[in-house]
């Protein structure tokens, strides 16, 4: 790949393509955006005009383009697996948004397609790339708060209707296209983050996942989950689309030597409180949120392009995406069966 531009196509030209994938590809000196696709052609056209690219009618047309070396899959959740598998089969490195799929079988099929094609599959779990979470990982690895005993994490906001290009009548609220609501939009991000920070798997879940308040749609707008790790610790994960006003995008880890608070302090996104009274404050910038329009760099595109250029498999791989999805699937199963559910590892 030395000295060659990585030519990409964006499949889906809605909000995540508009706010993150397209601007971050465009800002990358080694990338050329070749084509945009959307089932609503005007959306693709708008981005194509802005970034000097072309449009093609369908994803099949995009992945058939010889000039395209990699694709971003930025469409509703139910289409992630079929489109990613087709792209990989066509020999394109694939960056797929989260949640990566609607089932463990689909996720495994995506990974198998990536392995067979010898092309990378990366999943858009951007939370672990955020500076506060990178710092937190370093503090945990350095043993600053000791052994983590329990944890709580929350990703909650008023809902995706002000974010999605389709608004309140869009796919986010339609089970056939979204498969899950707040748990697929938000909960899966925190499942990935917990696995990353704790450095171990979540193996068991008990959860309430339900549609409590939104006037529209047939997917969950709230979830409260108990999670157990493989080493026997446990904690909670909540996701909500009815946290109104504002947002709760926070994680607190309770260790044997102290507490690590992430995103709870408006100025210092990482706070360490040690037993004995010492406090450490780290100012690492605001978290990138949907509310803020996601204007700062997520790091996802840079990581994807770096993988392609260096031939190094992405850290946030298909397998990582499958494990995070597995936590969500176990929560759904627990809610359905009213039993604890094992995570498919
Ligand atoms: N990583 C993150 O933080 C983050 C944030 C928001 C959304 N997402 C994910 O990104 C994906 C897209 O979400 P969004 O916010 O952009 O939604 P959106 O509603 O704003 O846009 C989705 C777009 O996909 C298009 N589309 C639907 N089916 C298509 C198809 N078969 N072919 C081509 N285009 C198609 C729609 O017309 C629409 O323009 C979702 O999976 C979502 O979970 C990730």
The single residue listed with the structure tokens 């760099």 is: 297
Bond before 80 cis per omega within 30 degrees: no
- Is the C-beta atom of 299 inside 6 A of ligand 1? no
Which pLDDT belongs to residue 296? 76
| pLDDT, mean of residues 90-95 | 98
Cα–ligand 1 centroid distance for 145 (angstroms): 38
Which pLDDT belongs to residue 288? 62
Most ligand 1 atoms within 8 A of CB, residue of 12, 84, 122 to mutate: 12
- Is the C-beta atom of 128 inside 6 A of ligand 1? no
Is the pLDDT score of 29 beyond 80? yes
Is the pLDDT score of 153 beyond 60? yes
- Is the C-beta atom of 106 inside 6 A of ligand 1? no
Residue in 76, 281, 87 with CA at minimum distance from that of residue 179: 76
Is the pLDDT score of 294 beyond 80? no
Percent of the chain with pLDDT over 70: 96
Question: Residue 3's pLDDT band (boundaries 50, 70, 90)?
Answer: low
- Is the C-beta atom of 77 inside 6 A of ligand 1? yes
Q: Rounded to whole angstroms, how far apart are CA atoms 126 and 20?
A: 11
Q: Rounded to whole angstroms, how far apart are CA atoms 80 and 243?
A: 27
Instruction: Name the DSSP class of 317.
Output: B
**Range with the lowest mean pLDDT among 62-66, 118-122, 295-299, 332-336?**
295-299
- Domains (range + CATH), the chain: 6-126+297-316 (3.40.50.720), 127-290+325-342 (3.30.360.10)
Cα–ligand 1 centroid distance for 22 (angstroms): 13
Mean pLDDT of the residues in the chain: 96
| pLDDT, mean of residues 44-60 | 98
- Is the C-beta atom of 55 inside 6 A of ligand 1? no
- Is the C-beta atom of 15 inside 6 A of ligand 1? yes
Is the pLDDT score of 293 beyond 60? no
- At 114 the three-state DSSP class reads helix
Q: What pTM value is reported for the model?
A: 0.97
Q: Rounded to whole angstroms, how far apart are CA atoms 254 and 266?
A: 20
Instruction: Name the DSSP class of 20.
Output: I
Cα–ligand 1 centroid distance for 291 (angstroms): 16
- Is the C-beta atom of 27 inside 6 A of ligand 1? no
Q: Rounded to whole angstroms, how far apart are CA atoms 256 and 143?
A: 10
Most ligand 1 atoms within 8 A of CB, residue of 14, 46, 123, 169 to mutate: 14
Shortest-distance Cα residue to atom 25 of ligand 1: 12
- At 1 the three-state DSSP class reads coil
Cα–ligand 1 centroid distance for 38 (angstroms): 10
| pLDDT, mean of residues 220-228 | 98
Most ligand 1 atoms within 8 A of CB, residue of 9, 17, 38 to mutate: 38
Which pLDDT belongs to residue 1? 58
Question: Residue 295's pLDDT band (boundaries 50, 70, 90)?
Answer: very low
Percent of the chain with pLDDT over 90: 95
Residue in 56, 107, 65 with CA at minimum distance from that of residue 87: 65
- At 185 the three-state DSSP class reads helix
Which pLDDT belongs to residue 114? 98
**Atom number in ligand 1 closest to CA 75:** 24
Is the pLDDT score of 304 beyond 80? yes
Is the pLDDT score of 235 beyond 60? yes
Is the pLDDT score of 36 beyond 60? yes
Q: What does the block give as tokens for 234?
A: 């446990």
**Range with the lowest mean pLDDT among 68-82, 273-287, 320-334?**
273-287
Q: What does the pLDDT look like over 157-181, one tens digit per residue?
A: 999 999 999 999 999 999 999 999 9
**Beta strands 248-255 and 222-229, pairing class:** unpaired
197: left (phi over 0), alpha (psi -120 to 50) or beta: alpha
Q: Rounded to whole angstroms, how far apart are CA atoms 93 and 1?
A: 13
């Amino acid at each position: 790949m030395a000295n060659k531009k990585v030519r990409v196509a964006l499949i889906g030209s809605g909000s995540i393509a508009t706010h993150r994938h397209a601007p971050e590809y465009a800002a990358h000196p080694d990338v050329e955006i070749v084509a945009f696709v959307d089932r609503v052609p005007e959306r693709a056209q708008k981005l194509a005009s802005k970034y000097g690219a072309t449009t093609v009618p369908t994803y099949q047309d995009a992945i058939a383009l010889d000039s395209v070396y990699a694709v971003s899959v930025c469409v509703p959740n139910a289409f992630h697996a079929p489109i990613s598998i087709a792209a990989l089969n066509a020999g394109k490195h694939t960056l797929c948004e989260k949640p990566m799929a609607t089932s463990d079988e689909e996720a495994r099929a995506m990974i198998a397609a990536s392995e067979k094609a010898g092309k990378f599959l990366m999943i858009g779990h951007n939370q672990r790339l955020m500076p506060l979470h990178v710092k937190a990982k370093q503090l945990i690895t350095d043993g600053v708060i000791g052994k983590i005993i329990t944890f709580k994490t929350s990703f909650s906001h008023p809902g995706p209707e002000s974010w999605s290009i389709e608004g309140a009548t869009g796919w986010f609220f339609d089970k056939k296209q979204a498969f899950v609501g707040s748990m697929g939009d938000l909960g899966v991000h925190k499942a990935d983050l917990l696995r990353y920070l704790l450095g171990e798997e979540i193996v068991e879940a008990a959860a309430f996942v339900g549609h409590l308040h939104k006037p529209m749609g047939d997917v969950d707008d709230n979830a409260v989950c108990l999670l157990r790790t493989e080493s026997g610790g446990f904690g909670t994960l909540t996701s909500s689309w009815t946290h109104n006003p504002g947002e709760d995008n926070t994680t607190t880890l309770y260790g044997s030597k102290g507490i690590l608070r992430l995103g709870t302090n408006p100025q210092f996104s990482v706070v360490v409180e040690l037993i004995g009274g010492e406090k450490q404050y780290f100012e690492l910038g605001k978290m990138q949120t949907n509310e803020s329009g996601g204007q700062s760099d997520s790091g996802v595109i840079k990581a994807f392009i770096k993988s392609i250029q260096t031939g190094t498999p992405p850290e946030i791989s298909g397998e990582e995406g499958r494990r995070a999805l597995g936590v969500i699937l176990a929560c759904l199963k627990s809610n359905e069966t009213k039993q604890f559910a094992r995570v498919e590892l």
